Amino acid sequence: MSTNSTVRFDGLRALVTGGGTGIGRATAVTLARQGAYVSVAGRTEATLRETIDEIRAEGGQGQAVICDVSDEDSVKNAVSVAAGEQQRLDVAVNSAGVSGGDALRPLADYDTAQFDRMLTVDLRGTFLCMKYELALMADRRSGAIVNVGSGTSLVGVPGFAGYVAAKHGAAGLTKTAALDYGGLGIRVNTVAAGLVETPLVATGRSEETMAARIAQHPLGRIAQAQEIADAIVWLCSGQSSFVTGAIIPVDGGYTVH
């Protein structure tokens, strides 16, 4: 259960990309629980449907929107559908992303196709979503965007060139958009998450690898998606009204080292 459950989003329209699973799903369900109409966007209809079922089971409202964030027309359409007849978008959470898995390589050995994939989804995808979200928010001179980043938005990780480059780049987009749109009252922030128990980290990782990664977090454990969603929802809300351009670690101390 969210810790900031008193914040209400009644009458507001929200878009959550990557909302079919993990951090995106927890965020979408929380925003809907707190009154928003939530458009849940992603590539896989079945998982989007599960999120919508969860939202409706709690009495919330929302819709599923098929979207590939690396495809500009698909993003343009998804943002427009999310904004509905009045073309209104109050909150956007860009959580869609892919990780480099455990295929760690020093940069000279890093697979170029893998690098391109990371940049296409995690950086270009974030750019495309922000581009169309901000256009709508600028029309109404209000809105809040939260990009879901990582410890890799702030620090390097050996062998992880593609993901680190993409997440650092997306952090740069957050800062630039905060400068571009602060004068219109639009806030743009990044939550830099530590290790979170989601499908992204669950696949293809040995117990040893997971234990080593958990040990890098001073709190000594992996996070639950809700712990990241709570920070995201705070950044979407008026409770964070003087926060913009921030890359906020929610990482169990991972980036303290």
Active site residues: 163
Q: C-beta of 218: minimal distance to ligand NAD in Å?
A: 16
Shorter beta-carbon distance to ligand NAD: residue 136 or 148: 148
Query: What are phi and psi for residue 105, nearest 5 degrees?
Result: -145, 140
Q: Which of 16, 32, 64, 68 binds ligand NAD (CB under 6 A)?
A: 68
Q: Is 22 in the site for ligand NAD (CB under 6 A)?
A: yes
Shorter beta-carbon distance to ligand NAD: residue 8 or 233: 233
Q: Is 200 in the site for ligand NAD (CB under 6 A)?
A: yes
Q: Which of 4, 7, 43, 105 binds ligand NAD (CB under 6 A)?
A: 43
Q: C-beta of 76: minimal distance to ligand NAD in Å?
A: 13
Q: CA angle, corner 41, sides to 36 and 43, nearest 5?
A: 160
Q: Which of 198, 237, 244, 255 binds ligand NAD (CB under 6 A)?
A: 198
Shorter beta-carbon distance to ligand NAD: residue 12 or 193: 193
Contacts with ligand NAD, 129-168, as mask; x by CB under 6 A = -------------------x-x------------------
Q: Is 123 in the site for ligand NAD (CB under 6 A)?
A: no
Give dist(CA 160, CA 102) in Å, integer: 9
DSSP secondary structure letters along 216-245 = TSTT-SPBPHHHHHHHHHHHHSGGGTT--S
Q: Is 42 in the site for ligand NAD (CB under 6 A)?
A: yes
Q: Which of 2, 9, 20, 240 binds ligand NAD (CB under 6 A)?
A: 20
Render the burial of 210-248: b for 16+ CB within 10 Å, e for the rest: beebbebbeeeebbebbbbbbbbbbbbbeebeeebbbbb
Nearest one of 76, 22, 72 to 44, comparing CA atoms: 22
Q: Is 174 in the site for ligand NAD (CB under 6 A)?
A: no
Neighbours of 254 (CB within 10 A): 24
Q: Which long-range contacts (CB under 8 A, 24 or more apart) does 83-86 make?
A: 83/13, 83/15, 83/136, 84/13, 84/37
Residue recorded with tokens 């079945």 = 46
Do 22 and 45 contact (CB within 8 A), yes or no? no
Q: C-beta of 93: minimal distance to ligand NAD in Å?
A: 10
Shorter beta-carbon distance to ligand NAD: residue 86 or 98: 98
Residue recorded with tokens 């959580």 = 95
Binding segment toward ligand NAD, per CB under 6 A, in 53-61, 85-93, 96-104, 131-139: 96-104
Instruction: Return the structure tokens found at 137.
Output: 């928010």
Binding site for ligand NAD (CB under 6 A): 17-18, 20-24, 42-44, 67-70, 95-99, 121, 125, 148, 150, 193, 195-196, 198-201
